[in-house]
A and B are shown apart, each in its own frame.
Chain A
Amino acid sequence: KAGVTQTPRYLIKTRGQQVTLSCSPISGHRSVSWYQQTPGQGLQFLFEYFSETQRNKGNFPGRFSGRQFSNSRSEMNVSTLELGDSALYLCASSLVPRQGALAKNIQYFGAGTRLSVL
């Protein structure tokens, strides 16, 4: 069974540009979450999608957006790039969103897209 696939693996952009990152979840997984990893902040939650609907959003500016398609694949977009957006962007998938208190919910991560903004 293929894992979570993220493309591209590496990306170099300049300030002011926009970028789109792609994530294909594990087959059968319908929930996709995105995280930003930076050395100083660790993994910060961006958003979660399930059935093409955004279910959760982290504390990031509106320049960060995402969507999910009917086949559960997801994209995230960052507009008007800033130097501080340089980070590793990780996508994670799970079968469905967490199903309640004490419920197990394992997210499986892709290898990430390393974005460098110059």
Chain B
Amino acid sequence: DQQVKQNSPSLSVQEGRISILNCDYTNSMFDYFLWYKKYPAEGPTFLISISSIKDKNEDGRFTVFLNKSAKHLSLHIVPSQPGDSAVYFCAALKPGNTPLVFGKGTRLSVIA
């Protein structure tokens, strides 16, 4: 049973435009969410996070939005750059000593 879902396996965006990556979750116990970016032949790199008491967190070009009632979060990248081309993973944590639960990832291609 997939508790964290990234329903779009891939996304293509023009350079300079906005990239929106989506993530849905089923377990209402999740209280902390993270986005990781992964380039080929490298491990995932932490990008941005948000706790469940917030609905938005911004860091430079990256903003994460959380809609708890819809159990949905999204990552916005503005403006998108070719170097943003990577696989993006959404991950979630429950309270207590439990492991990260990852989505299957979305491959973002930013076209120059």
Q: Do A106 and B46 touch (CB < 8 A)?
A: yes
Q: Which residues of B contact A105 (CB under 8 A)?
A: 32, 93
- Cα(A84)–Cα(B72), bound, Å: 32
Convert A79-101 into 0s and 1s, putting 1 for each residue whose CB lies closer than 8 angstroms to a CB of B.
00000000000101000011011
Q: Which residues of A contact B99 (CB under 8 A)?
A: 33, 45, 48, 56, 58
Closest Cβ of chain B to A43, distance in Å, is 4
Q: Which residues of A contact B93 (CB under 8 A)?
A: 98, 105
Does any Cβ of B come within 8 Å of A62's Cβ?
no
Closest Cβ of chain B to A51, distance in Å, is 13
Number of A residues contacting the other chain (C-beta, 8 Å)?
30
Chain B contacts with A in 36-65, Cβ cutoff 8 A = 36, 41-46, 49, 51-53
Q: Which residues of A contact B105 (CB under 8 A)?
A: 42
Q: Do A103 and B44 touch (CB < 8 A)?
A: no
Q: Do A106 and B49 touch (CB < 8 A)?
A: yes
Does any Cβ of A come within 8 Å of B69's Cβ?
no
Closest Cβ of chain A to B55, distance in Å, is 14
Q: Do B41 and A111 touch (CB < 8 A)?
A: yes
- Cα(A21)–Cα(B77), bound, Å: 36
Does any Cβ of A come within 8 Å of B83's Cβ?
no
- Cα(A98)–Cα(B51), bound, Å: 13
Does any Cβ of A come within 8 Å of B34's Cβ?
yes
Q: Do B43 and A4 touch (CB < 8 A)?
A: yes
The 8 closest A-B pairs by CB, nearest first: A109-B43, A101-B95, A42-B104, A43-B102, A45-B99, A109-B44, A111-B43, A102-B51
Instruction: Write the residues of chain A forming the contact surface with B, with a CB cutoff of 8 angstroms.
Output: 4, 6, 33, 35, 41-45, 48, 55-56, 58, 90, 92, 97-98, 100-112
